[in-house]
Amino acid sequence: MRHKKSNKNIKEDTIFAKRTEEAWKRHDKGEFVETDFDTFLKKLKKANNLS
pTM above 0.85, yes or no: no
Q: What angle do CA 3, 15, 32 make, to 5 degrees?
A: 130
In tens, the pLDDT along 9-47 reads: 999 999 999 999 999 999 999 998 899 999 999 999 999
Residues with Cβ < 8 Å from 45, sequence gap 6 or more?
Answer: 51
pLDDT given for residue 31 in this prediction: 95
pLDDT over 60 (residue 49): yes
Residue 51 confidence (pLDDT): 53
